[in-house]
Amino acid sequence: MNAEKKQVLVTGGAGFIGSNFVRYLLEKYPTYGVVVLDKLTYAGNLENLADVREKYEPQERYRFVHGDIADAEVVAEAMQDCQFVLNFAAESHVDRSIEEPGQFIQTDVYGTYILLEQARKLKEAGEQGEGSPFERFVQISTDEVYGHVATGSSKEGDPLETRSPYSASKAGGELMAHAYYVTYGLPVIITRGSNNYGPYQYPEKLIPLHITNALEDEPLPVYGDGQQVRDWMHVLDHCSGIDTVMHQGQLGEIYNVGGGGDEYVNLEIVHTILKLAGKPESLIKYVVDRPGHDRRYSLSTEKLQALGWQPQYNLKDGLKQTVEWYTNNREWWEPLKSGEFKEYYRRQYIDRK
Ligand code: NAD
Ligand code: DAU
């Protein structure tokens, strides 16, 4: 374990993966401090960090900054004294990107540029002996940049074939990060993660939506024929993969972080959720498919495994634990399924054409 004191900026730390990562990092590295910068969009939730705040704020190892990664002034304040930046902040939902792409470009591309600019300034200051050296900028990207993968598994050198406004925006962000590595020598590393599931996931993505709908005896909407394949990964495996890359990855490189190769079509996931929740299959409701829906994703994770990383969860056990978590934490998700969520749900599912 690294016993050095480090200060880490985690953007989007109040979201699903970011909050899991903050908890993971602070527990694993007792000499690290974390600054979370988050805009608290509909997907950001300070409740995700309530235990972190209680435990680590008194030790001065955790600080929260409310703000936008596209705001240079806020970013400069939050990033000061940091040696690491992990950029989780993003508009992250494909369906919302189809409704309204603009905010995706603003946050996922422009916001990433603002973070890179500030990191460049810190790096240059460190080189002139002002402040400690800037160590690493980790850009959290997605397997969606590869687009639909008919056979085999995507490797890091494969071409990008983005097909949704979300994946195009994420590709824009990571390409800009790579450009800062090449042009300015900023110590950038990029990760491309597959579909995550686990605790604290906002209940609009497939697994938390279907678990919570099942628990409420509401219909489970399945897009198209339900035969799409995703490379499911438990969020804590994603966290350990990012930790490995953050500490051992090679600068300028890209690392896939994926679920370990078990393939399930969406419908199998939905059947498993219903079984685990003890609910009938009559809750399944087929709805019109997502426009441009990528049929299959699959990642080769050989490059990350060569650094010693291995996923710890299989989907069967991970899903069981996740259904238990949502069953036991109704007070976390029930308030989220009101207000803005209900509006979104109506547009997305009730008025769906
Ligand atoms: P999420 O939607 O749950 O959380 C995103 C967080 O970013 C929220 O807390 C939100 O408030 C914050 N945010 C959004 N815009 C911001 C802005 N302009 N400034 C500051 N904060 C802002 O997303 P997630 O599922 O936790 O995903 C985190 C990251 O991982 C994203 O970059 C996403 O593209 C990537 N990723 C997600 C998955 C997945 O399966 N969820 C897989 C691979 C990669
Ligand atoms: O692959 C990584 C990506 O996974 C991340 O980069 C994104 O941030 C994350 O949102 C996720 O994108 P997906 O579009 O794959 O996730 P979603 O949970 O929306 O959908 C998973 C699959 O389930 C997809 O094939 C669409 C389908 N689906 C989804 C919903 C919400 C349904 O059939 N019904 C639904 O109600």
- CB of 123 shorter than 6 A to ligand 2: no
Atom of ligand 1 lying closest to residue 166 CA: 34
Atom of ligand 1 lying closest to residue 106 CA: 18
- As for ligand 1, residues whose beta carbon falls within 6 Å of it are 11-12, 14-18, 37-41, 43-44, 68-70, 88-92, 107, 111, 140, 142, 170, 193, 195-196, 202
pLDDT tens by residue, 155-180: 999 999 999 999 999 999 999 999 99
Structure pTM? 0.98
Burial code of 94-130, b = ≥16 C-beta within 10 A, e = fewer?
Answer: bbbbbeebebbbebbbebbbbbbebbbebbeeeeeee
pLDDT tens by residue, 1-12: 445 899 999 999
- CB of 171 shorter than 6 A to ligand 2: no
How far is Cα 18 from Cα 275, in angstroms, rounded to an integer?
30
Atom of ligand 2 lying closest to residue 290 CA: 26
Mean pLDDT of 235-255: 98
State the CATH number of the domain containing residue 54: 3.40.50.720
**Positions marked catalytic:** 143-144, 166
Mean pLDDT of 137-163: 98
Has residue 258 got a pLDDT over 80? yes
Has residue 243 got a pLDDT over 60? yes
Q: How far is CA 203 from CA 100, 110, 226, 323, 344, in A?
A: 19, 27, 19, 12, 12
Has residue 353 got a pLDDT over 80? no
**pLDDT > 90 in the chain, percent:** 95
User: 205 C-alpha vs ligand 2 centroid, how far in Å?
Assistant: 6
Give the model's pLDDT for residue 253.
Answer: 98
pLDDT tens by residue, 266-278: 999 999 999 999 9
- Domain containing residue 185: 6-200+233-260+296-312
Which residue out of 35, 36, 88 has the highest number of ligand 1 atoms within 8 Å of its CB and is therefore the one to mutate? 88
Does residue 285 form part of some domain?
Answer: no
* Residue 189 bridge partners (DSSP): 138
Does residue 289 form part of some domain?
Answer: no
How far is Cα 317 from Cα 326, in angstroms, rounded to an integer?
15
Has residue 71 got a pLDDT over 90? yes
Does residue 121 form part of some domain?
Answer: yes
Give the model's pLDDT for residue 2.
Answer: 46
pLDDT tens by residue, 296-331: 999 999 999 999 999 999 999 999 999 999 999 999
Has residue 80 got a pLDDT over 50? yes
Does residue 37 form part of some domain?
Answer: yes
Count the domains in the chain: 1
Atom of ligand 1 lying closest to residue 257 CA: 43
- CB of 294 shorter than 6 A to ligand 2: no
User: 91 C-alpha vs ligand 1 centroid, how far in Å?
Assistant: 6
Atom of ligand 1 lying closest to residue 13 CA: 9
Give the model's pLDDT for residue 3.
Answer: 59
User: 264 C-alpha vs ligand 2 centroid, how far in Å?
Assistant: 13
Mean pLDDT of 75-97: 98
Nearest CA to 122 among 134, 113, 111? 134
Nearest CA to 266 among 324, 311, 301, 221? 221
The DSSP element (H or E) to which 267 belongs, if any, is: helix 266-277
- CB of 221 shorter than 6 A to ligand 2: yes
**pLDDT > 70 in the chain, percent:** 99
Which residue out of 97, 206, 268, 348 has the highest number of ligand 2 atoms within 8 Å of its CB and is therefore the one to mutate? 206
The neighbour count for residue 83, using CB atoms within 10 Å, is 20
Has residue 235 got a pLDDT over 60? yes
How far is Cα 322 from Cα 330, in angstroms, rounded to an integer?
12
pLDDT tens by residue, 17-56: 999 999 999 999 999 999 999 999 999 999 999 999 999 9
How far is Cα 54 from Cα 310, in angstroms, rounded to an integer?
31
Does residue 337 form part of some domain?
Answer: no
User: 200 C-alpha vs ligand 2 centroid, how far in Å?
Assistant: 16
pLDDT tens by residue, 124-136: 999 999 989 999 9
Does residue 349 form part of some domain?
Answer: no
Does residue 339 form part of some domain?
Answer: no
Q: Give the model's confidence band at 352: pLDDT under 50 very low, under 70 low, under 90 confident, else very high.
A: confident
Instruction: Write down the mean pLDDT value for the chain.
Output: 97
Has residue 333 got a pLDDT over 80? yes
**Residues near 159 by beta carbon (within 8 Å), at least 6 away in sequence:** 146
Give the model's pLDDT for residue 1.
Answer: 41
Does residue 38 form part of some domain?
Answer: yes
Q: Which structure tokens are listed for 124?
A: 């240059």
Ligand number with the minimum distance to the CA of 192? 1
Has residue 191 got a pLDDT over 60? yes
